Amino acid sequence: VIFAQDGGVDDYMGTIILAEMHKKKKIDFLGEIVLNGDSVLPYSMEITYKFHALLGIADIPVLLSKARMYNAFPYCYRRDTMNLANIDTLAEFSCPMPKEPLDGDEWLREQLQSAGEKSITYVCTASLTNLADVLQSSPELERKIGSIIWMAGAINVKGNLDREIYKGWNDKAEWNVFADPLAASWIFEHTAIEMNMFPLDIADKAPVDGQFMIELEQQTSRECSDPNRAMLNDIVYKAYKDICVSQPYYRLWDTVAVAFLAMPELYASPERMQLAVVTTSEQEGWTAVRGSGVKSAYWREVKVFMDFSSDQALEKFIHLVATHTF
């Protein structure tokens, strides 16, 4: 598994999930690539190094992509990373960090070159910019990727571009697509990698406030013999309480996608849809379904996960995520 994320609070729950699965030998977690997307450097890199140390996976490389977003995330979103880095427990924790980050794009290329055919699962909670860059220059590496798991898109619900920030934005795009619709469109049109997409339709059903926060708080009050685990529980609780709860629209977006690797039985069967990524300015970033009125030269079949298998499955998902039980 290769994980590409862009430094938001919810991305780091993905790090926790993959770390726990790796330690239980359920996956081989090869590395974590940070994109300078919904975050601010160097905070996002420092946080990732610290999470790897706290989780006992400091040997798994943390890398920085040089990719740049076509549509930059608003700074008011990106500063959540600074707020996360300044949470007292995390700020006071120290661990070894390289003076210069490793090149995530060159590392990705090398990993794919040495990998077996279709052996890589590429988990992405960011834009597809860096992956498109690598495959455009080395198209033969496509065959090394068995599947992509991507938190992205909006099908039967509105997108999440905040039109109070800019009224000219459309109401159909989701940020991980909108950040670089050209890269997403290229992947859809020019590759045949199995695409598993987790859009806002399912992600919006997993709220932060409520059961999730109750269980996170309970985690901090339980006896814990591992000081690093106790510290991590405190950091995660404070991050969601101080940063996310005050944003009523916040959901466990990225977590929904990453957790599929750990608990696929909690998800309803995916719907196979013919999708295209709109790159024209008016509806830029929309993952349009065939028959929606969009004209496209290509339509890509995508496995779209629209819901959990039941209300009970959603409750179990929230419990397992909050307690880091994977």
User: What are the tokens at 136?
Assistant: 């455009």
Question: pLDDT value at position 249?
Answer: 86
Q: How far is CA 217 from CA 97, 195, 230, 323, in A?
A: 30, 35, 12, 10
Mean pLDDT on 17-39: 97
Confidence of residue 157 (pLDDT cuts 50, 70, 90): very high
Question: Residues 184-194: pLDDT tens digits?
Answer: 999 999 999 99
User: What are the tokens at 308?
Assistant: 């959990």
Confidence of residue 23 (pLDDT cuts 50, 70, 90): very high
Question: Residues 241-255: pLDDT tens digits?
Answer: 999 999 888 999 999
Question: pLDDT value at position 231?
Answer: 96
Q: What is the distance between the terminal CA atoms of the chain, rounded to a whole angstrom?
A: 16
Question: Residues 276-303: pLDDT tens digits?
Answer: 999 998 899 999 999 999 988 899 999 9
* pTM listed for this prediction: 0.97
Helices assigned H by DSSP within 93-247: 104-114, 129-137, 175-178, 181-190, 200-203, 211-221, 227-239
Question: pLDDT value at position 325?
Answer: 87
Confidence of residue 1 (pLDDT cuts 50, 70, 90): very high
H/E element, 149: strand 145-151
Question: Residues 188-225: pLDDT tens digits?
Answer: 999 999 999 999 999 999 999 999 999 999 999 888 88
Q: Mean pLDDT across the chain, nearest whole number?
A: 96
